[in-house]
Structure formats: structure tokens, C-alpha cells
Amino acid sequence: MPATSPAPILLELLRCPEPHHAPLAYDREANCLTCSECDKVFRVEDGIPVMLLDSVKEE
């Protein structure tokens, strides 16, 4: 079953939850969001980004 991507308007509004609030890049293949500043990776489940810092994978 293909992954559901977040709505385009949501992708424009989302920012990293760290204090720098940098923009996030969406990787359609990996179905995740990556911070453009700190490289933290946030998974996307059923089209919903999981933005909890406790569940972050750093690249």
C-alpha cells in the first residue's frame, strides 16, 4: 500500500519544532520530513507528520 503524503498546504506551513524553526523538506520515497538546518528526520504516518522531538531520528 503506497504511503499517503501530507497535504501540500501543510508542507508549506510546517517548521522544525526546534528553536530555529527551519523549513522542512518532504522526501516522498522515504515518507519523511527533514529539517533543512539540523537534519532531524520526522516520519509521516498516514499523511500525518509525527513532529515529536522524542521520536526523531537524526541523520
- Residue 3 included in any domain: no
- Residue 24 included in any domain: yes
- Residue 25 included in any domain: yes
Can you give the residue range of the structural domain that contains 32?
8-58
pLDDT score recorded for residue 53: 87
pLDDT digits (tens, 9 = 90+) for 3-57: 788 889 999 999 999 999 999 999 999 999 999 999 999 999 998 999 998 877 6
pLDDT score recorded for residue 2: 57
Between CA 24 and CA 35, with CA 16 as vertex, the angle to 5 degrees is 45
- Residue 18 included in any domain: yes
- Residue 32 included in any domain: yes
pTM score: 0.84
What separation in angstroms does the CA of 2 have from each of 8, 27, 28, 35, 45?
Answer: 17, 14, 10, 23, 11
- Residue 2 included in any domain: no
- Residue 52 included in any domain: yes
CATH of the domain at 25: 2.20.25.10
